[in-house]
Chain A
């Protein structure tokens, strides 16, 4: 639905000193959506965010905001606000003045500024901290102030550049939930950048997986986890066993020396494919009923489950299971057809020569 699209990126390209950072990015963000740009460092996710924020200009392509092309419009005229990676709070101002910074620029009446600042402090659970200097706060508190400082301006879109990167694990998890509930309560569109797949899965409505300046896959957390488009996405989102195999015919794939029934079709006959299996989808069964058999090489206790590495002769399988098998024992492995994910092999998609030929 066209009118729901708040931001559209159309054919965005960007290069620094001849090195391509963004390669023809097309993306749209709906109103009130929580969109996460996910990828390893250097994949172009932060650059995408900075182009929307107005801190960088794309070499080509358009940024459409609410139906208008905003490419070239300076940051202070855009209805977006940013939470920076290391917060970038103003050290010469106290907490209150940091949050009030944007409102004062808009020349709002004093009592309204005070009211809204107090409301924000309350929202981020820091009421009573207004007079403190920002340098006296802990990382988590500074983080909340940075969010409050951006949100108090009631932006159409909040851009967050790895805002939880500097926090410890427990605090990070708390803040993830807090951010998500804040977003739902306020009804503001969030565009979130992270390299943490778990964070992305927890918070997002839509995940955009990026690598090397390209978008690999866009989808809901569930669809990206369950139906990764290629081995990279599969491996980046969660853990995976990735085997190269051959599609014998529709709904039958050959890998690890065995034929496996699957539910995929349309690859053609005898075509090379990548087979991705989530470790938790591998079932440990009796030696005689397994599709393959192997020896338990190692067992790691991971809390909720055990992680076992199983040597099946020509391949190593990673298996997650809540029941432990002793090291050295022989077991059978089985995968239901639905849990075999067949995708075009990575190598084919990646050849740079082919990519350029496409352009």
Chain B
């Protein structure tokens, strides 16, 4: 396979960028006669250029070229029709022979889920994860933000403590619990239900995602509920709302920014994860889209061009969904998206 490396223009862009940066820095320094705001902001600009702008350009470059650096859209075709490569590897003569034997190409080729199927599966899993997090997280946030609930602050800390622990450690701990003779199965055996296959299932991955991402749902909602003026719910009750009406006519609409922010912060990492599915799926579950991308860059099926194309598809989908979410919270009150 190809020996992938940064194309030479990448160095040029970086070089020119750095030079431009230095020129601007000196220019501003002279113009403002000292260290003013633009000068202080410049390290961040440099950071963005090196670690965001150039990488995105490189991803676009690889996605739109073949192994020799020539422009092509084949990578996107390969995303759409992942069997194409394999079919292309079979000579027309061989295909003819298969036909004579009464076999279709599909039957001959080993079963393989397509990139599109994987993408749909990934989105579906992330969607489920987001819904579960919302259903678990909203009531939790509501309880924590309740003025009359004295343990609210304690609960906030309890929700935060797992986040202080290393992500990998947390997930491994979960896999220990789910093992064939792990704690949960032992309990199941103890009460007479019998051991189940828990680890290496979609359910285990889902559990891992919800477990890891729940705080990202709870805290934005908690924040938006917490900063809400409690007098507003009193006003609603005063005007004739019972508790339930107060909730869906006042509290819920006012917490929408938090909900939007929470959905974004859960859905994004969930749809791109590969670590959780690897640790809790053990390669025995249908792959997630993050797995596919990862495999193209460091795994068995090295292909930076295809991997970049897959990343681009993901990026565009995320941008589109962000656009929709932005519409629901035009003022960005949820505390910023991404």
Contact = CB atoms under 8 A, between A and B. Distances in A.
Interface string A46-76: 0000000111000000000000000000111
Nearest to A86: B231
17 contacts: A53-B238, A55-B234, A76-B239, A76-B242, A80-B238, A81-B239, A84-B234, A86-B231, A88-B232, A88-B234, A89-B235, A90-B250, A101-B236, A102-B240, A149-B239, A150-B238, A150-B239
B240 A91 contact: no
A84 B254 contact: no
A101 B239 contact: yes
A90 B235 contact: yes
A340 B249 CA distance: 58
A105 B244 CA distance: 12
B253 interface: yes
Given A88-B234, A90-B250, A105 B240 contact: yes
B241 interface: yes
A246 interface: no
Interface residues of A, number: 24
A91 B255 CA distance: 12
Contact of A74 (B232, B235, B242): B242
Given A91-B254, A92-B254, A84 B235 contact: yes
B232 A105 contact: no
A84 B232 CA distance: 9
Contacts, number: 57
A82 interface: yes
Query: Which 8 A-B pairs have CB atoms at the shortest separation, nearest pair first?
Result: A102-B239, A88-B231, A88-B235, A105-B240, A75-B237, A82-B238, A92-B253, A76-B240
A213 B256 CA distance: 41
A191 B269 CA distance: 55
Interface string B210-238: 00000000000000000001011011111
Contacts of A244: none
Nearest to A84: B231
A54 B254 CA distance: 24
B242 to A, nearest CB: 5
B240 A88 contact: no
Given A91-B254, A92-B253, A92-B254, A76 B234 contact: no
Interface of A: 53-55, 74-76, 80-82, 84-86, 88-92, 101-102, 105-106, 149-150, 153
A89 B236 CA distance: 9
A106 B242 CA distance: 12
Nearest to A101: B239
Contacts of A149: 239
B104 interface: no
A54 B126 CA distance: 45
Contact of A88 (B229, B245, B254): B229
A86 B232 CA distance: 10
A90 B238 CA distance: 13
Contacts of B240: 76, 102, 105-106, 153
Contacts of A54: 237
A350 to B, nearest CB: 34
Given A86-B231, A88-B231, A75 B254 contact: no
A306 B66 CA distance: 94
Which one of B235, B236, B250, B254 has the greatest number of beta carbons of chain A within 10 Å?
A: B235
